Amino acid sequence: MTDQDNLKRFILLRSQGWSFNRIQVELNVSKPTLIKWSRQHQFEINNLRATETEALAETVFGARHERWRDLAAQLKKVEEEISRRGLEELSASRLHGIAAQLRAEIKRETVPILLLENPRQIPESECVWGQQQWVG
């Protein structure tokens, strides 16, 4: 395997959460080299991890727009029930709590995906610069 092949495999394995020790055995590359690669390519590793996590979440929980639709439908039902009840009822306060939880979940679901670039804390000699555009 060439160094370039090892590097690509390293990035993939680190994005999947493999330890340096496990990768060292798998690729037969020294730990100092792996640590250097990790520093040089941390943003690529993190971006790959984020996209893999998003794909897994879609597989397990459905597409993001479907989750938004389902959450919005649940929130609408809760808010309709709240409007039918008087606020003095104890169960209405519970419904307000559920509505707040749904709003918080909707807010978490609608945050943009951040793909990182321009690593300022890594020495210039160890950086691999790239530019990516993400349209979500």
Mean pLDDT of the chain: 81
Give, in order, the Cα–Cα distances in Å from 38 to each of 50, 64, 118, 123, 125: 16, 30, 15, 13, 14
Query: Is residue 63 very low, low, confident or very high in pLDDT (cuts 50, 70, 90)?
Result: confident
The whole-angstrom separation of Cα 56 and Cα 80 is 33
pLDDT digits (tens, 9 = 90+) for 26-49: 999 999 999 999 999 999 999 999
Mean pLDDT of 121-135: 56
Query: Is residue 129 very low, low, confident or very high in pLDDT (cuts 50, 70, 90)?
Result: low
